[in-house]
Amino acid sequence: MVKAPLKTKAAVKQTAKAAIKKVAASLPAKAPRKLSIIASKGSLDMAYPPLILANAARMSGIETHVFFTFWGLDMINKKKMNKLNVSVVGNPSMHPWFHIPTLLGAIPGMSAAATWMMRREIAKLDFPPVGEFIELLLDAGAHLYGCKMSMDMMKLTTADLVDGAEVLGAMEFMDLSEGGQIIFV
C-alpha cells in the first residue's frame, strides 16, 4: 500500500482558495446596492435619521438617493436648513431626559428650549449641524432631490435649494429607486 504524500498547509490553503474562486466565478455577479430615502419631515429631531442613514450608506459604498418632500424640503432649503426646530406639542416620542408633557409644550418658549437642548446633545455626539451634514453627503456622492410637486406647492425654486440638489418628480424618483431599498422617514 502506497501512501499519498501529505500536503503542506500552504498547499491546502492554495487548493481551498482555488476552489472558492472557481465557485465564486460560477455565481452570478452581485448587483451594486442602492438605497433610496424619502425624507418627509422638517423638524430637527426628524432631520437626523435620514441624514445618518444616507451617510452610513455612502460610507458603505452604497449608491444613495434622498428625496425631500413636503416639510422635509426644509432640510435642503438654504434659508431654513440651519434653523430647524423641535416640536414639543404632540410629540409623544420625546426621550425621558427631554420629556416635556404636551400641556407644558404649549407654553411659549418650550419649543425653543427643546431645540436648544437637542442641538446641545447632537453637538456632544459630534454630529454636524444639518447644513454641514447635507454638504458632507453631497461631497460623499449622495444624490439629493427636492420633490417637484412639494416645491410647486410651497412656491420654491431650484435657487432655494442647497447647491448640488436637483428637482425631481415622484414618478422619476420611483424609476430611479427601482431595484433598491426604499426607506420612508
143-147 β-sheet, strand order: 166-168, 143-147, 63-68, 34-39, 181-184
Mean pLDDT of the chain: 85
Q: What is the pLDDT of residues 45-93, one digit of tens each?
A: 899 999 999 999 999 999 999 999 999 999 999 999 999 988 776 565 5
Q: pLDDT band at residue 1, thresholds of 50, 70 and 90?
A: low
Residues 6+ apart with CB under 8 A from 111: 85, 86, 87, 88, 89, 105
- CATH 3.40.50.1820 assigned to domain 34-184? The reply is no
* Residue (of 106, 123, 158) closest to 48 by Cα position: 123
User: Would you say how long the chain is, in residues?
Assistant: 185
Q: What is the pLDDT of residues 100-142, one digit of tens each?
A: 666 566 667 777 777 788 888 888 888 899 999 999 999 999 9
Residue showing cell 418628480 = 169
- Is residue 84 within 8 Å of residue 75, measured between CB atoms? yes
pTM tops 0.85 = no
What DSSP letter does each residue of 56-107 carry, written as one string?
HHHHTT-EEEEEE-GGGGGGTBTTTTT------TT-TT--GGG---HHHHTS
- Tell me what pLDDT residue 29 has: 67
